[in-house]
Amino acid sequence: MPHVTLANPLIALENSVTAAAFRQIPLFSRWRPINAARPAMSAPWWQWVASTDSLTARLMAAGGEKQFRVRLLRQGVGWPRPDEAQALGIGAKRYAWLREVALCLDETPWVVARSVAPLTQLKGQRLESLGERSLGSWLFRQPGLVRGPLEVTTQFPPFASVSGIQEDCAWGRRSVFYHGCKHGGLSLLVQEYFLAAMADDLGLPSR
């Protein structure tokens, strides 16, 4: 009979926890209301994280002479993560449109973002044709746009390291945008992670 070694599941778990901590990949995301994070946030970061207008426009302004570019990391149909489904108020096994990008200044990623929208609500929105144009440039032109409350995290997003962006995240934030159209409403969860490179380039504190 061949000798079979079964991996000890506890050791495997411990190893994966260590490996995850090493690569700063969280096992789960912890989101909290932005006001709960305020005491831990420096005033310069508050200006960025608590802003509710277009981040694209803010990044372009802060970048000055630097060239702004949306680098498309991944876009397509898939399942939302459990915390994303919960934020959108949909079941975890409902297909969603997913878009992951890096917002770069002179090719340096300053922000990585992941946006999620329930597929059934996408009728006629043609979001997939955005390509490397900023989602914000489309979103903030939508009439009657409503932005839900901001929540924040300090955990690095798992998708970014998969795409080769290995960096510390100063702050992450998320909120759901809602807008109605004559065929029904769209909810779009936008999660944005501000990277350490942005803090370095703009002379911001680490948090």
Ligand X SMILES: C=C(O[C@@H]1C=C(C(=O)O)C=C[C@H]1O)C(=O)O
Smallest Cα–Cα separation from 196: which of 168, 176, 171?
Answer: 168
Cβ–Cβ < 8 Å for 168, 121:
no
- The answer to whether 72 is annotated as binding is no
**Span interacting with ligand X, options 50-58, 143-151, 166-174, 193-201, rule CB under 6 A:** 50-58
Cβ–Cβ < 8 Å for 51, 150:
no
Structure-token pair, residue 2: 């061949």
Strand pairing category for 108-118 and 146-147: unpaired
157 binds ligand X (CB under 6 A): no
**Span interacting with ligand X, options 14-22, 36-44, 98-106, 164-172, rule CB under 6 A:** 98-106
- Among residue numbers 65 through 84, which ones bind ligand X (CB under 6 A)? 70
- The answer to whether 99 is annotated as binding is yes
How many residues of this chain bind ligand X (CB under 6 A)? 16
Cβ–Cβ < 8 Å for 174, 52:
no
Structure-token pair, residue 37: 């994070």
Distance CA 108, CA 71 (A): 10
Structure-token pair, residue 136: 């914000």
Comparing CB distances to ligand X, the nearer of 14 and 128 is 128
Residue from 24, 42, 54, 175 in contact with ligand X (CB under 6 A): 54
Name the helix (H) or strand (E) containing 199: helix 196-202
Residue from 83, 151, 167, 192 in contact with ligand X (CB under 6 A): 192
Distance CA 114, CA 154 (A): 15
151 binds ligand X (CB under 6 A): no
49 binds ligand X (CB under 6 A): no
Binding mask 103-142 for ligand X (x = CB under 6 A): x-------x-x-x------------------xxx--x---
Known binding residues: 99, 135, 192
Q: Which residues bind ligand X (CB under 6 A)?
A: 54-56, 70, 99, 101, 103, 111, 113, 115, 134-136, 139, 190, 192
